[in-house]
Structure 1
Amino acid sequence: MLHKLTTAKIRGLPFGKHNDGGGLWLHKRPDGGGQWFLRVTIHGRRREMGLGSTADVSLKLARERAKEWRALA
């Protein structure tokens, strides 16, 4: 299932890793910051690729970047 997160839901999430679906994850830190990353499997090995900080990359942009990189993987 894709698009599990919303902008409003992200604000209220506790720190930790949260799945948006399709390999897109949000890692919220205890200090309030966070990063977007994409998990993909390449040649049978799981890889994680950073997509940017939540301060610089919106949920919409993170989803677009994830879609582009999934197509290449």
Structure 2
Amino acid sequence: MRSSPWVSARLSAPAPPCRKSFPFPPSSVSLPPSPQMVSFPPRPLIFSALSVPPIISLALPTPFGFTTPRASV
């Protein structure tokens, strides 16, 4: 019986931080790719952009919170 409340509390703790971190990474990642898109070619960047967002989003949130990149995956 005591194990039930403990598991619920642990699952509830990582839930709030994950939701708050979600809107943070996309906002920060959306700004850097914008200027880079104009600097680099549009054709090769479009293909790389699809592979770059997931890589940058994992590298940026890493220092902010390991829960963000893990939840995305």
TM-score normalized by the length of structure 2: 0.28
TM-score normalized by the length of structure 1: 0.28
Q: Larger % of strand: which?
A: 1
Q: Larger % of helix: which?
A: 2
Q: Which has the higher contact order (CA 8 A, sep 6+)?
A: 2
Flag the structure with larger Rg. 2
